Amino acid sequence: MTMDYDEDDYPRYISAAERKKQAAEQLAKLQRSGGKPEPIVVTARSIAKTFWGQAWNRHIESFQDYASRLPRGRSYLRQGAVVDLKIREGEIEALVLGSELYHIHIRIDKLDPERWNAIRKACAGRISSLIDLLQGKLSQEIIEVLCDPETGLFPAHGEIKLICDCPDWADLCKHLAAVLYGVGVRLDEQPELFFLLRGVDRQELLDSDWSGDMQGETTLENDDLGGMFGIDLDHL
């Protein structure tokens, strides 16, 4: 069971089945009205399954002040409450069904050019193809460069601006938490959107005159990725 609030701020309990039904009805309503919603659907035990989706979620979970709201966000996401989620350059827009339909707007600062150039330099000649980049088939050294919490591609806490029109006073409400996890699911499907979100050209990571020996490169396993962020990947 999950708890929500009515217009009089009295708690009421909504089962997962009821919320899923309400979300499906809201999605159908949006479609009938001529909209083109892009819902987030979670069907597996893990919310995100691919490298970029998992890396995004691990990064979000590394922010300690998000910890108390993230479990509710995961529940909302699994119940189909994120009925629309779109990623554009520097922003994420979504619709989340709570006691009513809430509008989400998350702004992400564009990656600092100096930081991006440093990442490009570190990766020069060490990523064999765009497919390998998008699938996360990279050496551990390169993945550590891309995923470093301080100098990598992922936004710092202060580079993320969260806006939800629900009445929750918290900086991160459960609706925003659901959307943040939903981004990980979307990156499973379209990892190229991560680079769009950060305002960088992914192709630039492949551009280099340096040609090194690509032999011996191995894909970073889940245990290594989880260890980088200090969190167990398998708990989702």
The pLDDT value recorded for residue 116 is 96
**Mean pLDDT, residues 65-69 taken together:** 89
Assigned domain for 193 exists: yes
Q: What is the mean pLDDT of the chain?
A: 85
pTM over 0.95: no
Question: Is residue 11 situated within a structural domain?
Answer: no
| Residue 11 neighbours by CB distance under 10 Å | 8
Question: Which of 38-47, 74-83, 193-202 shows the lowest mean pLDDT across its residues?
Answer: 38-47
> How many structural domains compose the chain?
1
Confidence of residue 171 (pLDDT cuts 50, 70, 90): confident
Angle between helices 51-61 and 174-189 (to 10 degrees): 160
The pLDDT value recorded for residue 224 is: 56
Residue 12 lies in a domain: no
Average the pLDDT over 130-150 and give the result. 96
Distance CA(232)–CA(230), nearest Å, equals: 7
- Residue 145 lies in domain: 38-235
Residue 67, token pair as written in the block: 């910890």
The answer to whether position 214 is within a domain reads yes
Q: For residues 37 and 213, which has the higher predicted lDDT (pLDDT)? A: 37
Count of alpha carbons within 13 angstroms of residue 144, beta-carbon side? 7
Q: How far is Cα 77 from Cα 125, in angstroms, rounded to an integer?
A: 39
Which residues, 6 or more positions from 83, have their beta carbon under 8 angstroms from its beta carbon?
23, 26, 27, 30, 37, 39, 95, 96, 97, 101
Confidence of residue 205 (pLDDT cuts 50, 70, 90): very high
- Assess if residue 10 is contained within a domain: no
Is the CB of residue 198 less than 8 Å from the CB of residue 155? yes
